[in-house]
Amino acid sequence: MTDSQIIREIKDGNVELYSELMNRYQRRIMAFIYHMLKSAKLESLAEDLCSETFYKAYRSLHTFREIDATFSTWLYTIARNTVLSELRKQKAAYVSIEEVNMEPIISDAATPEQQLLINERMEMVREAINKLPEKQRSAIILREYEQMDYQEIANILEQSVSSVKSLLFRARASVKQQLEAYIEQDKSSDDYERMNQK
């Protein structure tokens, strides 16, 4: 059954089918929430906020309209708003979305030094993303790591598609700028090593 068919059944009174929707999305929503809470050191709240998200979605299911958004997009929107509301309550300084399945794929042939360098670069990218304003950070995570299209991101962030593109452009430019000093330093170190090998 598709999400739409299940939702129609639930609206018709077959409420036990809601557990099927939860099974489909629980892991992804839990990971998304966990990521948003990570650097505010509130990961322990992830399970509660995940449950709250599904509870809110169930209570509001009668208002869900497929012509406005897919169920998954609607659910991500509820999850994001639930977390932001909690973070405001906790007076957290900023939202950070850490990675799940964001670890670099390292070739078996990579030397320990190369592996270390790749991991170090990934850590710097994560730190740069964590410093972005909340909407830029959410946009880049949803685009690059959740692989969502512009329209889905626009629906979740309650922005136009052109605003999402603008957020992504600024986010990428900011990450690049933050990493430039590191890249230059890394290049100088490579040049120095090459000179010593001659």
Residues in the chain: 198
Task: Quote the CA–CA distance of 82 and 90 in Å, as a whole number.
Answer: 12
**Span 6-22, mean pLDDT?**
91
More confident residue, 5 or 125: 5
142-176 in b/e burial notation, b at 16+ Cβ within 10 A? bbebbebebebbbbbbebeeebbbebbebbbebbe
Task: Quote the CA–CA distance of 81 and 145 in Å, as a whole number.
Answer: 19
The 10 Å Cβ neighbour count of residue 11 is 12
Q: In the chain, what are the domain boundaries?
A: 1-98, 104-198
More confident residue, 187 or 134: 134
69-128 per-position pLDDT tens digit: 789 999 999 999 998 888 887 753 344 444 434 444 444 555 777 667 767 777 787 778
pLDDT of residue 166: 94
The amino acid sitting at 183 is: I
Taking phi over 0 as left and psi of -120 to 50 as alpha, with beta for the rest, 55 belongs to alpha
Architecture of domain 1-98: Orthogonal Bundle (1.10)
If you average pLDDT over every residue of the chain, what do you get?
79
Helix residue ranges, H only, 91-160: 112-130, 134-144, 150-157
Q: Check whether 39 has a pLDDT greater than 70.
A: no
Overall fold of domain 104-198: Arc Repressor Mutant, subunit A (1.10.10)
184-194 per-position pLDDT tens digit: 665 555 554 55
